Structure 1
Amino acid sequence: MTGHSTRECRPLRFGIVAPVTTDMPTWRDQLRGLADSGYSTILMPDVPQWQPAPGPALAVAATVTDLRVGTWVYASPVRPAWITAWEAHSLSVLTDGRFEMGIGTGRPGIAEQLRELGLPATPVGRRSSQVREVITALRDLDGPDRHTPVVMAVGGPKAQALAAEFADTVNFVMPQTETRAATKQRVERFDNRRGAELALHVPVIGDSVAAFMAGPDTDPAAVRAADSLAFLPSDPAAAAEEIQRRREELGFSYFVFGAGVAGALAPVVAELAGR
C-alpha cells in the first residue's frame, strides 16, 4: 500500500561529511573552502575512536564558518538518551540554531562496537525506542521557543513510522547496490504526510568512495552497475542533471557527500544550491 505523501519542490542543498582526519589548521582551511563553495552543512560521523567526538568537533566547526552543522549521524545505542539530547540541545543553543541532530540506530556492526566499548548490547527491536527517547528528551529541553531539526536515518518499518511522526529530514538507509526502482518503491511507501525533507547519502562519486560513508570493500563499479542512488557520476554536468532528476522523480532535495569530492562537485553545488 502506497504511503501518504506531501510533495513540494524544495530548494536543493548540499552537506559534506568532514571528519577531522588531518591536523587542525588543514581541517579549518577545508571547512572555509566548503563555505566558499556553497555547501550548506558540515557533518560529523559518530564513530568512537576514529576521529574526535562529534559534539566538540561541530562546536569548533561552527566557529570557523557560518554554515549549518550536524551529526551524520548519532548512533543511539552508544550513549544514554538524555545525554545525547542534552548535547544536541546545547549545540543548537551555542550555534544560534545552526545545528541539526542526525540520529539513527548505528552503523552495520554496531553490536560488535558496543562489545568493544564495554556497553550493553541493545536488542534490534528496541533501537527505534531509543531514538524516540532521544527526540522526546530533545523536545523537552528545547521547550516552546526552540526547534532543533531532527534528521533521521531510517531502514525498517519501526524507524520509518517514527520518522513519519518526528523527523524534519529523512535519510533512507538502503543497500548500496539497491536499484533505483527499489529505492523509488521505498520512498513511495513512506508516509510523508508531514512533508519532511528527503535526504540522499551518496558515498560513491565516479570511482571515489567516501571514507566514513561506506565500507572499505565497496565496489564503485557494482554500485554504478546496479543503477543505485548511492552513486553519482564524477562529471559535473552529468551529476547536476542526475541530482535534478532525483528531486523531480523522487523528491530528494538534500544531498550529502564525502569531503574528498567536495572540490570536484563544487561547480555542481555552485550551480544548484538554493534552486
Structure 2
Amino acid sequence: MTSGGKSKPFRFGMNMVIPDSRPVWVEKCRKAEGLGFDVIGVAEHLRMAPPFPALVLAAEATSRVRLNTFVINTAFHNPALLARDAAGTDLFTEGRLELGLGAGNVKSEFEVAGLEFPRAGKRVDHLEHTVKELKRHFADEKHRPLTVQQPGPPLLIAGRGDRLLTLAAEHADIIGFTGTAAVPDGSPLVAADAAEIEERANFVREKLNGRDAEFNILSHFVEVGEDRRAGLEKVRGFLKDSHTVEQIAELPTALVGTHEQIAEQLIAHRERFGITYFTVLEQNMEPFAPVIELLRGR
C-alpha cells in the first residue's frame, strides 16, 4: 500500500545521464514527453550534464513533463546558492521543477573534485542543514528567491539509512529509495533484495505517521522480451550472481518480461512497497514506454 493507505496513480520518470550535444539532448527530451513519461530527471555526477541548465533546456524543448534533479549531491553545494539556482530553474521552467536531493555517496567524485569525503553522518548533517535552509529561504517573504511554485519546488529526498529516511519522512514530498543494500561507507553500492526494500518502505511509512508522500525508485534494469527467464538471467549476470533468479524476479529495480508482464510487476510493487513513481534510465526509455500506456488509469 502507499504511504497514504490507498493506491495512487503511477508516474514514470526518465533519467538523463548522457550529455550528448544540444540537438540530441533536445530530441531525447521531446521523445520522452511524446512517449508519455511524466518526469525528465537529470543526475548530478561529474562528467554528466549540469542539472539546472540541462533542465532549463529540457523545459524549452517540452511543454508538459515535470523536471527533476535526480539527485543533487548536497555535499557539493552551499545552501543559499542552491536555493538561488533552484528558484531560478523553477522560474525559467514555469514551475515544473522537482528538487531532488541526496547526501552524496560516490567517494571517487569527491576525490576528483578535490574535496574531503566526510563520513556518512557529516554528509547527512549537511543534507539536513541544506533542507532546512532551503525551506527558510523559500519561506522568507522579504528576501525569498522568486519561484513560480509557492513557497518553493517540491522536494524529493533519496537515500537508504535510518537517519536520512527519517529526514525525508519529515520534509520530503517525494521519497526516493535507492534499491541498494547497506555497505561500508564509500564502498561500491550493492543491490538490495526485495525484503530489504520492503523494510525500508515500512520504516518510512511509520515515520510519516499519516503524512502523505510519494514513493519513488530508480529501476536500473529493464529487459523486455518474451522469455522472462532469459531476461532475469541477464540481469543476474549484471549483478555478478549476487542474487538468485527468484530474488531478481521480486525486485522493483529490475523490470523483466513482456510489456504486459512488466505492467503486472509494477502493480504488484505498488501493492507491496507503496511505490508509484518509477524512474528508468534513458537507454531504457523506448523499450519501457509501452508499459506506460498499459498502466494509464490503473
Q: TM-score, normalised by structure 2?
A: 0.80
Deviates more, 1:125-134 or 1:251-260: 125-134
The answer (yes or no) to whether the contact 2:43–2:71 under 8 Å persists in 1 is yes
Inter-CA distance 263–238: structure 2 relative to 1 (3 Å threshold): same
| Alignment partner, residue 97 of structure 1 | 95
Partner amino acid, structure 2, of 1:170 = I
Q: Which runs of 4+ in 1 moved over 3 A?
A: 220-224
Alignment of 1:140 onto 2:154 = no
RMSD: 2.2
In structure 2, how many angstroms separate the alpha carbons of the residues matched to 1:262 and 1:183?
A: 24
| Alignment partner, residue 171 of structure 1 | 176
Pairing partner for 1:149 from 144, 148, 154? 154
In the TM superposition, 1:167-206 aligns within 5 A as: 167-173=172-178, 174-175=180-181, 176-190=190-204, 191-193=207-209, 194-206=211-223
Unaligned runs of 5+ in 1: 209-216
In structure 2, how many angstroms separate the alpha carbons of the residues matched to 1:250 and 1:104?
A: 21
Partner amino acid, structure 2, of 1:88 = A
The answer (yes or no) to whether the contact 2:160–2:200 under 8 Å persists in 1 is no
The answer (yes or no) to whether the contact 1:99–1:148 under 8 Å persists in 2 is yes
In structure 2, how many angstroms separate the alpha carbons of the residues matched to 1:88 and 1:10?
A: 27
1:234 CA drift (Å)? 4.3
In structure 2, how many angstroms separate the alpha carbons of the residues matched to 1:58 and 1:224?
A: 38
In structure 2, how many angstroms separate the alpha carbons of the residues matched to 1:237 and 1:56?
A: 36
1:220 CA drift (Å)? 7.5
Pairing partner for 1:38 from 22, 36, 39? 36
1:271 CA drift (Å)? 2.2
Unaligned runs of 5+ in 2: 142-149, 182-189, 226-236
Pairing partner for 1:27 from 15, 25, 28? 25
In structure 1, how many angstroms separate the alpha carbons of the residues matched to 2:164 and 2:280?
A: 23
Inter-CA distance 115–85: structure 2 relative to 1 (3 Å threshold): same
In structure 1, how many angstroms separate the alpha carbons of the residues matched to 2:216 and 2:196?
A: 16
In the TM superposition, 1:242-257 aligns within 5 A as: 242-257=265-280
In the TM superposition, 1:210-225 aligns within 5 A as: 218-219=238-239, 222=242, 225=245
In the TM superposition, 1:217-236 aligns within 5 A as: 218-219=238-239, 222=242, 225=245, 226-227=247-248, 228-236=251-259
Sequence identity (%)? 24
Alignment of 1:62 onto 2:52 = no
| Alignment partner, residue 125 of structure 2 | 129
| Alignment partner, residue 110 of structure 2 | 114
In structure 1, how many angstroms separate the alpha carbons of the residues matched to 2:29 and 2:295?
A: 20
In structure 2, how many angstroms separate the alpha carbons of the residues matched to 1:267 and 1:156?
A: 34
The answer (yes or no) to whether the contact 2:124–2:164 under 8 Å persists in 1 is yes
Count residues in correspondence: 260
Q: TM-score, normalised by structure 1?
A: 0.87
| Alignment partner, residue 262 of structure 1 | 285
